[in-house]
């Protein structure tokens, strides 16, 4: 059996945990730079605030209904997610973290396990330990577990947040209830095509001949049909490291001087190196790009990128920044007002499985230096310790005018309790 555990209104819930005065009030969380709505509480959804709503367009509505608006606090959300996932990893032998607020669990032998009772115990444990409410759906396949989870969340008062599809009767009832457009993996294009054929529910879909599905929707569609029918085709996927890592930024103003662009590219390379070390990997090549502003018709437009193969795999900020600057020299053009630049590291390999060459290799002393640098920055703040080629006074900050405290990761922002 598989289970899908989904945190309810996760971002909004994280904000509410440390602000009990927000209970019952509508909450929205905004995207980077406070642009648009990316998360809503149940109360905000009931007001009709859509996902992706531009914040400035809905400001009057926020004021009218006293909607609590927060900037994205990913330090808080990431830490709360890690706490939930840790509890889930102790509850099942296999786990696949699907997203920041979702995870699949797999149970091999559960013939004598009351899944509904077990799910409620797990749900209460997570709520008591973290304050996060979750919905849990059990079924014989991952796709069907998604359906069960949807029912558990939709009819929470009846299901108490847990629903088990363990019989054909329950499976058929669930599939006849689920709209074809809500099936996990069915895109908008396929949904419209199927609806034109009279396929409106998931149950209608599994009645289609396998030959037609494979011909018109490829092997992926066939897997979907089998999964909905309760056949476990998709297994638990192990966590894989990223195949490429990018750090790109638009500048606050146009840069015309080489030294200005060089400093930014150096900082981007340093950030990529930090991400490589965090997942214990190295890269074998990198891409550097620079762009002028395409919207400024009064300025000369120029856009260029270059990919270079590194002589050895590395995650050293010193070495990667040097290679990035070398690449920048090859594409930088004088007389251009640059608006954006970026560094992308590629051909990533495990840190402990680097290919050693005969003549050129990474400097082993850098490994100890980078570990020390990471430890210091973790303790006193991101990028407090930098390379000399980086600007000491320049920082890039998102617009976060409504940012809450990082209650669980910063001692200076920890919640205060007043005892009288």
Kindly tell me if the per-residue pLDDT of 380 is higher than 80: no
The confidence band for 370, taking pLDDT boundaries of 50, 70 and 90, is confident
Provide the pLDDT for residue 367: 79
Spatial CA neighbour of 103 closest among 8, 4, 235 = 4
The total number of structural domains that make up the chain: 1
Q: At what angle do helices 364-380 and 258-278 cross, to 10 degrees?
A: 90
248 three-class SS: strand
Residue 82 lies in a domain: no
Residue 292 lies in a domain: yes
Q: At what angle do helices 317-331 and 258-278 cross, to 10 degrees?
A: 140
Q: Regarding predicted confidence, which is higher, 255 or 378?
A: 255
Residue 284 lies in a domain: yes
Residue 400 lies in a domain: no
CA distance 223 to 7: 26
* Rg, C-alpha atoms of the chain: 25
Mind listing the pLDDT tens digit for each residue in 163-207?
Answer: 999 999 999 999 999 999 999 888 888 899 999 999 999 999 999
DSSP for 56-107 reads GGGHHHHHHTT-EEE---HHHHHHHHHHHHHHHHHHSSEEEEEETTEEEEE-
Domain carrying residue 292: 245-380
Residue 157 lies in a domain: no
Kindly tell me if the per-residue pLDDT of 414 is higher than 90: no
Cβ partners under 8 Å of residue 144, min gap 6: 2, 165, 171, 174, 227, 228, 230
DSSP-assigned letter for residue 401: T
What pairing do the DSSP bridges indicate for beta strands 94-99 and 102-106?
antiparallel
The confidence band for 14, taking pLDDT boundaries of 50, 70 and 90, is very high
* Token pair of 98 as six digits: 């699907």
CA distance 104 to 100: 12
CATH number at residue 344: 3.30.1490.100
Neighbouring-strand partners of residue 29? 39, 70
Q: Regarding predicted confidence, which is higher, 124 or 367?
A: 124
Provide the pLDDT for residue 356: 66
Reported residue count of the chain is 420
Provide the pLDDT for residue 369: 78
Mind listing the pLDDT tens digit for each residue in 101-132?
Answer: 999 999 887 677 889 999 999 999 999 999 99
Q: At what angle do helices 115-130 and 74-91 cross, to 10 degrees?
A: 140
DSSP-assigned letter for residue 118: H
Percent share of the chain, pLDDT over 70: 92
Residue 272 lies in a domain: yes
Residue 298 lies in a domain: yes
Mean per-residue pLDDT for 230-250?
83
Kindly tell me if the per-residue pLDDT of 85 is higher than 60: yes
Dihedral pair phi/psi, residue 362, rounded to 5°: -65, 150
Mean pLDDT of the chain: 88
323 contacts 309 by C-beta, under 8 angstroms: no
Neighbouring-strand partners of residue 303? 291
Provide the pLDDT for residue 15: 94
CA distance 294 to 185: 36
Provide the pLDDT for residue 331: 96
Provide the pLDDT for residue 209: 92
Residue 180 lies in a domain: no
Dihedral pair phi/psi, residue 97, rounded to 5°: -80, 105
Mind listing the pLDDT tens digit for each residue in 262-276?
Answer: 999 999 999 999 999
Spatial CA neighbour of 1 closest among 96, 150, 137, 171 = 137
Kindly tell me if the per-residue pLDDT of 364 is higher than 90: no
The confidence band for 238, taking pLDDT boundaries of 50, 70 and 90, is confident
């Amino acid at each position: 059996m598989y289970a899908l555990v989904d945190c309810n209104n996760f971002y909004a819930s994280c904000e509410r945990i440390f602000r009990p005065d927000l209970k019952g009030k509508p909450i929205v969380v905004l995207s980077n730079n406070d642009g648009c709505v990316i998360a809503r509480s149940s109360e905000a959804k009931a007001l009709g605030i859509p996902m992706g709503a531009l914040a400035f367009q809905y400001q009057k509505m926020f004021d009218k209904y006293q909607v609590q608006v927060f900037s994205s606090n990913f330090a808080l959300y990431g830490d709360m997610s890690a706490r939930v996932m840790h509890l889930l990893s102790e509850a099942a032998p296999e786990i696949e973290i699907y997203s920041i607020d979702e995870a699949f669990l797999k149970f091999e032998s559960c013939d004598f396990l009351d899944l509904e009772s077990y799910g409620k115990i797990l749900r209460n444990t997570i709520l008591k330990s973290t304050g996060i409410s979750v919905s849990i759906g059990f079924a014989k396949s991952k796709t069907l577990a998604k359906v069960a989870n949807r029912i558990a969340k939709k009819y929470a008062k009846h299901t108490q947040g847990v629903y088990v599809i363990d019989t054909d009767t329950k499976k058929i009832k669930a599939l006849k209830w689920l709209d074809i457009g809500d099936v996990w993996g069915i895109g908008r294009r396929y949904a419209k095509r199927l609806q034109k054929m009279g396929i409106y529910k998931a149950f209608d879909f599994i009645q289609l001949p396998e030959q037609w599905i494979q011909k018109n929707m490829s092997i992926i569609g066939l897997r979907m049909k089998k999964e909905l029918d309760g056949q476990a085709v998709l297994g638990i996927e192990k966590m894989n490291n990223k195949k490429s890592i990018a750090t790109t930024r638009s500048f606050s103003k146009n840069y015309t001087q080489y030294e200005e662009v060089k400093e930014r590219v150096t900082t981007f390379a340093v950030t990529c190196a930090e991400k490589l070390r965090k997942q214990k990997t190295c890269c074998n090549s990198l891409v550097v790009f620079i762009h002028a502003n395409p919207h400024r018709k009064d300025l000369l437009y120029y856009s260029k990128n270059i990919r270079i193969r590194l002589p050895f795999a590395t995650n050293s900020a010193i070495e990667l920044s040097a290679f990035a600057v070398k690449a920048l020299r090859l594409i930088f053009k004088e007389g251009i007002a640059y608006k954006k630049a970026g560094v992308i590291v590629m051909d990533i390999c495990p840190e402990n499985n680097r290919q050693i060459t005969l003549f050129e290799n990474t400097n082993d002393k850098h490994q100890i230096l980078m570990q020390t640098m990471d430890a210091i920055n973790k303790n006193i703040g991101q990028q407090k310790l930098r390379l000399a080629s980086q600007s000491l006074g320049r920082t890039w900050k998102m617009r976060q005018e409504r940012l809450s405290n990082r209650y669980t990761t910063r001692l200076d922002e920890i919640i205060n309790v007043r005892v009288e």
